[in-house]
Amino acid sequence: MNENKTNINYYPGHMAKTKRLISENLNLIDVVYEVIDARMPKSSKIKDIDNILKDKKRILIMTKVDLCDINETNKWKKYYEENGYIVLLLNLELSDSLSYLINMTNEIMEEENNKRISKGMNKKKARVLVIGIPNVGKSTLINRLAGKKVVNVGNKPGVTKNLSWIRVNSDIELLDSPGILWPKLEDEITAFNLASLTAIKEEVLPLDKVAIYILNMLDKYYNEILKKRYGVNNIDEDIEITLDEIGKRRGCLVKGGIVDYDKVYNIIINDIKNGVIKGITFDRLEEENE
Ligand SMILES: Nc1nc2c(ncn2[C@@H]2O[C@H](COP(=O)(O)OP(=O)(O)OP(=O)(O)O)[C@@H](O)[C@H]2O)c(=O)[nH]1
Ligand SMILES: [Mg+2]
């Protein structure tokens, strides 16, 4: 494991509070939708989630599948399935059908409901907690399930600030929750993946290091994107040469023809944020097993 020297951390007060509130209200929850980002199936999984959720029945939902490298992400899907998870890949920007998710949820409730019916009681509504790191699409998923805008969403982390219950239909009620991380991002790769793929508030990031990390990841795994988007074939050992090349091409010049590196960093970070760069998955399963 890499020692984290990035100083990237994002753990505002509402995250600790959210964890506490979830723990206190866990007895109200029947099912959990654990939401992760398909571009980082490992880094975007809340570290101590098993401690928070105990043995609650779970469905693992990978969002932003339209932005991921499906070959790599499918390896993770298989890996999680082999470890007993029910896994669902979703593009929430499209009107992908959510009927599978609803059916799975009802199926999880079936055993308890059959018992209740045999005792002459009414069926129980599924009370579902939606949990995950910031900006993965928890609230978007809730709006999609509700069929209308019931909670706020936004293209930045930290949009949802409070827990709130939303009724979907007579069978399902959802609990939206603020994105949570953990107090110390334990290793450098996780920290950089979370930072690059928009789970951490930009204001607290070293934008230079994050942008250069993105360039290096593209160079390593997605060289064709590097060529197509930024017009460079490889990252030079001297990163300034590469930044100059990209900056000149993209018009990031200040007086005297000097490249403004901050502008280059912003272009790269915004390309990911706005989904211009697609087809990337930064977590590698093979490297886990090396
Ligand atoms: N391309 C793409 N964008 C998505 C998808 N799902 C969500 N988004 C976008 O991701 C951004 C974050 O969505 P939210 O639903 O606000 O995320 P959240 O998990 O509720 O975030 P917090 O409340 O900040 O923790 C929004 O800009 C969504 O439009 C998806 O499947 N594909
Ligand atoms: Mg939200």
Tens digits of residue pLDDT in 224-278: 999 999 999 999 999 999 999 999 999 999 888 899 999 999 999 999 999 999 9
Q: pLDDT value at position 290?
A: 61
| pLDDT of amino acid 89 | 97
Average pLDDT of the segment spanning 2-25: 89
Mean pLDDT, to the nearest integer, of 19-37? Answer: 97
Q: Is the CB of 162 under 6 A from ligand 1?
A: no
Tell me which residue of 151, 128, 138, 108 sits closest to 35, measured CA to CA. 138
What are the pLDDT digits (tens) for 118-140?
Answer: 999 999 999 999 999 999 999 99
Sign of the C-alpha dihedral computed for residues 77, 80, 84 and 86 taken in this order: negative
* The predicted structure's pLDDT at residue 3: 63
CA distance 155 to 140: 11
Of ligand 1's listed atoms, the one at least distance from the Cα of 91 is 31
Token couple for 217: 């990841």
The response to whether residue 275 sits with its C-beta less than 6 Å from ligand 1 reads yes
- Does the pLDDT at position 14 exceed 80? yes
- DSSP H helical segments within the chain, as ranges? 13-25, 49-53, 70-82, 99-118, 138-146, 188-196, 207-221, 223-230, 239-249, 261-273, 285-289
- Find the helix packing angle between 261-273 and 239-249, rounded to 10°: 80
What is the distance between the alpha carbons of residues 91 and 42, in angstroms, rounded to a whole number?
18
**Pocket mutation for ligand 1, best pick of 19, 95, 135, 200 (most atoms within 8 Å of C-beta):** 135
Whether the pLDDT of residue 38 is over 90: the answer is yes
145-173 pLDDT tens trace: 999 999 999 999 999 999 999 999 889 99
- Mean per-residue pLDDT for 82-107? 93
User: Which amino acid, one-letter code, is at 232?
Assistant: V
Q: How many residues does the chain have?
A: 290
CB of 24 closer than 8 Å to CB of 178: no
Non-local CB neighbours of 258 within 8 Å, separated by 6+ positions: none
Question: Does pTM surpass 0.85?
Answer: yes
Among candidate residues 30, 1, 37, the one with its CA nearest the CA of residue 111: 30
**Closest residue to atom 11 of ligand 1, CA basis:** 155
The C-alpha atoms of residue 135 and residue 130 are separated, in whole angstroms, by 13
Q: Does residue 288 carry a pLDDT above 60?
A: yes
- Is the Cβ atom of 19 under 6 angstroms away from ligand 1? no
User: What pLDDT was estimated at residue 6?
Assistant: 80
With bands split at pLDDT 50, 70 and 90, how would you rate the model's confidence at 191?
very high
Q: Is 6 in the pocket of ligand 1 (CB under 6 A)?
A: no
Average pLDDT (186-207) is 95
- Rounded CA gap, 202 and 211, in Å? 12
To test ligand 1's pocket by mutation, which of 97, 101, 139, 140 has the most ligand atoms within 8 angstroms of CB?
Answer: 140
